[in-house]
């Protein structure tokens, strides 16, 4: 989820190892050591290990470990890498690794100061990651602004993509520092949010309680001719006990009173937008993904005409994952923590589902493993290898993630490539 599920997966102690021999998972082909031909083509499609390794670095370390562990140094073994992301942190990096061009822009950060953000472009398709402009990464350590952080820079980043010729935008949301319902983003794209006296509402989610009128007529006209896909791994509504403020506000420094104030402000914001654009605003507030990234999902749905899709599903399409599976015998996926959140739209679950549909076996690497063998099997993952099996101390595990991952991949090669 990357606001917690969206963005706060951490590696810690845990880690059971699962599966040996020739157990099967429904819909996949498997082999036992010495009983069949081991795989000749391996595809590494893993997400980042948050706080320690990027998805690209994960692929590099796994490749190195496989080469060392495979017979004859991997002679005859083809290893391909396709770093993946689910719409949260690292989405632009994954697109660049897949051949998109990285573009930079100077935009407004969540606290109002300028920050440098990136998006990815290939032809007329752009991948825009809201965390690049409005993410927690732009806050000083220990500093939060739950009531006043703004998504204005995310709107500026979208506008930069439009200026570059994008007519299809995959808008990955997660890892946000904000809970403003996307009001800042829409303001940067031409919307007006005014108080009773006609002055603009101050930035952030808290001041939305002062909102009197909303005018979306000034939104950038290019948006009407642009296909915008809201890519997220969360399906929360805008408000209520499962809404943006209640579920994700505390991760952004919101105290109990702040959560209540933000939820009330977002509900008021939705009502004002309903007066401005009609019943569609109320429908969007309840729609899956509206509560993503502090409610920026709602802003994208109601203001940009975005369609909501699972982040990992749309990113696999954009990155060319179906084509990469051709001729593949084994897929290696993973992320920092394989846990219950993984099963609800995170990258490894999406990768495993797509590979299983092709009858391709999947194994996983991770920093921490908190899923039982049955849960892994149901997700289409034959076996998982955790760094904590080698180094149970979480601090050292994070600090030494690279070498540990190479050793883990060496073990994986001994089990699956010999």
Tell me how long the chain is.
418
Q: What's the pLDDT at 1?
A: 37
Q: What's the pLDDT at 5?
A: 41
Residue 383 CB partners (closer than 8 Å, separation 6+): 17, 18, 19, 20, 363, 364, 376, 415
Per-residue pLDDT tens, the chain, 418 aa: give them: 334 444 433 333 333 333 333 233 333 344 444 445 667 899 999 999 998 999 999 999 999 999 999 988 778 899 999 999 999 889 999 999 999 999 999 999 999 999 999 999 999 999 999 999 999 999 999 899 999 999 999 999 999 999 999 999 999 999 999 999 999 999 999 999 999 999 999 999 999 999 999 999 999 999 999 999 999 989 999 999 999 999 999 999 999 999 999 999 999 999 999 999 999 999 999 999 999 999 999 999 999 999 999 999 999 999 999 999 999 999 999 999 999 989 988 999 999 999 999 999 999 999 999 999 999 999 999 999 999 999 999 999 999 999 999 999 999 999 999 8
Q: What are 355's two structure tokens?
A: 């590979």
Judge contact between 2 and 229, C-beta under 8 A. no
Residue 51 CB partners (closer than 8 Å, separation 6+): 10, 11, 336, 398
Say how far apart CA 401 and CA 418 lie, in whole Å: 25
Say how far apart CA 54 and CA 205 lie, in whole Å: 31
Q: What is the DSSP letter of 214?
A: E
Q: What's the pLDDT at 41?
A: 95
pTM assigned to the model: 0.88
Q: What's the pLDDT at 18?
A: 34
Using DSSP, state whether 153 is helix, strand or coil.
helix
Q: What's the pLDDT at 91?
A: 96
Q: Measured between alpha carbons, how far is residue 146 from residues 134, 180, 298 in Å?
A: 12, 9, 18
Q: What's the pLDDT at 38?
A: 67
Q: What's the pLDDT at 227?
A: 98
Q: What's the pLDDT at 37?
A: 67
* Closest residue by Cα to residue 5 from 292, 246, 237: 292
Q: What's the pLDDT at 36?
A: 56
Buried/exposed code over 203-221 (b: 16+ C-beta within 10 A; e: otherwise): bbbbbbbbbeebebeebbe
Q: What's the pLDDT at 81?
A: 97
- Where do the DSSP E strands lie in 262-302? none
Say how far apart CA 194 and CA 202 lie, in whole Å: 9
- As assigned by CATH, the class of the 91-312 domain is alpha beta
Q: What's the pLDDT at 72?
A: 80
Fold of 41-82+326-416: Rossmann fold (3.40.50)
Say how far apart CA 186 and CA 152 lie, in whole Å: 7
Q: What's the pLDDT at 264?
A: 98
Domain ranges of the chain: 41-82+326-416, 91-312
Q: What's the pLDDT at 351?
A: 97
Say how far apart CA 212 and CA 239 lie, in whole Å: 19
Burial of 275 from C-beta contacts in 10 A (0-12 / 13-18 / 19+):
exposed
Residue 10, phi then psi, degrees to nearest 5: -130, 155
Q: What's the pLDDT at 42?
A: 97
Using only the alpha carbons of the chain, give its radius of gyration: 22
């Amino acid at each position: 989820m990357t606001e917690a599920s969206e963005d706060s997966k951490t590696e810690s102690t845990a880690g059971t190892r699962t599966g040996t021999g020739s157990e099967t998972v429904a819909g996949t082909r498997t082999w036992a050591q010495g009983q069949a031909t081991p795989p000749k083509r391996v595809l590494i499609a893993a997400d980042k290990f948050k706080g320690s390794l990027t998805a690209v670095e994960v692929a590099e370390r796994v490749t190195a470990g496989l080469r060392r562990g495979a017979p004859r140094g991997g002679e005859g073994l083809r290893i391909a890498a396709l770093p993946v992301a689910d719409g949260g942190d690292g989405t632009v990096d994954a697109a660049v690794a897949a051949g998109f061009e990285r573009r930079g822009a100077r935009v407004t950060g969540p606290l109002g100061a300028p920050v440098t953000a990136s998006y990815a472009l290939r032809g007329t398709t752009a991948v825009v990651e809201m965390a690049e402009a409005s993410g927690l990464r732009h806050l000083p350590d220990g500093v939060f602004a739950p009531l006043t952080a703004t998504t204005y820079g995310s709107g500026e980043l979208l506008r930069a993509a439009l200026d570059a010729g994008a007519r299809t935008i995959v808008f990955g949301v997660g890892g946000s520092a904000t809970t403003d319902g996307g009001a800042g983003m829409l303001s940067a794209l031409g919307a007006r949010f005014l108080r009773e006296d006609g002055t603009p509402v101050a930035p952030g989610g808290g001041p939305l309680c002062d909102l009197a009128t909303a005018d979306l007529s000034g939104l950038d006209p290019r948006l009407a001719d642009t296909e915008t896909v809201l890519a997220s791994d969360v399906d929360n509504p805008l408000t209520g006990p499962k809404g943006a403020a209640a579920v994700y506000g505390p991760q952004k420094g919101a105290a109990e009173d702040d959560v209540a104030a933000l939820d009330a402000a977002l509900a008021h914001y939705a009502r004002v937008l309903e007066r401005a654009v009609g019943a569609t605003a109320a429908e969007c507030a309840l729609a899956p993904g509206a509560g993503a990234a502090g409610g920026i999902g709602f802003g994208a749905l109601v203001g940009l005409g975005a369609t909501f899709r699972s982040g990992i599903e749309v990113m696999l399409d954009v990155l060319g994952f179906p084509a990469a599976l051709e001729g593949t015998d084994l897929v290696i996926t993973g992320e920092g923590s394989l846990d219950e959140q993984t099963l609800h739209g995170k990258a490894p679950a999406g990768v495993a589902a797509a590979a299983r549909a092709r009858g391709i076996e999947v194994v996983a690497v991770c920093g921490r493993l908190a899923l039982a063998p049955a849960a892994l099997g149901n997700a289409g993952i034959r076996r998982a290898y955790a760094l904590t099996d080698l180094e149970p101390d979480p601090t050292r595990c994070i600090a030494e993630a690279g070498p540990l991952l190479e050793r883990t991949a060496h073990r994986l090669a001994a089990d699956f490539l010999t």
